[in-house]
Amino acid sequence: MFDRARLPFRTLLIACWLLPGLSACDSAQQAVGIEPAGAKLARLDAEGKAVGGACRQSGRAIEDCYSIYSWLPKASIYEGWRDMDIYMRENKLETVEPQLPPPQPPGSKKKRAAASEPAEGEGKSAPKPTAKE
């Protein structure tokens, strides 16, 4: 009889103990870096439009944008490129030549910079033998 009286109390304690952990799922997901699918799609769409507009402004071909930014949706890249094209034609704006090389796609290894020293036989003079007397 005593155990039956404790059962609702025990259930209530377990629920109160689990409630804060379950209610913080959004906070935990944000801390870990997991984002909802809808938010990810909206973010990628906005990034694609921005990249497409920047590609058009820099005079880059749409196909180049697709290959450089392959992780972004092509439809949003095209939409941004097209909008910027219309804007530039209406306002008679010239393209701005890019000063930096295009970025590497995520997940690809970065190329190492060429060694500052020339390879053997290139640019170095052979050491002169010294005569010993």
- Dump pLDDT digits (tens) for 25-42: 666 666 777 778 888 899
Q: Give tens-digit pLDDT for 59-106.
A: 888 898 898 899 999 999 999 999 999 999 999 988 887 777 766 766
Dist CA 32 CA 26 (whole Å)? 10
Encoded tokens for 34:
């997991």
Q: What is the pLDDT confidence band of residue 112, given thresholds at 50, 70 and 90?
A: low
Q: What is the CA radius of gyration of the chain?
A: 30
Average confidence (pLDDT) over 5-23:
74
Is the pLDDT assigned to residue 127 strictly greater than 60?
no
Dist CA 7 CA 56 (whole Å)? 68
Q: How many CB atoms lie within 10 A of CB 61?
A: 11
Dist CA 106 CA 18 (whole Å)? 38
Dist CA 55 CA 61 (whole Å)? 7
Query: First-to-last CA distance in the chain?
Result: 113
Tell me how far CA of residue 90 lies from CA of 31, 49, 55, 94, 108, in angstroms.
Answer: 44, 19, 18, 11, 38
Q: What is the pLDDT confidence band of residue 15, given thresholds at 50, 70 and 90?
A: confident
- Which sign does the torsion angle of CA 67, 73, 77, 82 carry? positive
Contact 79, 52 (CB under 8 A): yes
Give the pLDDT score at 129.
57
Q: Give tens-digit pLDDT for 45-54.
A: 999 999 999 9
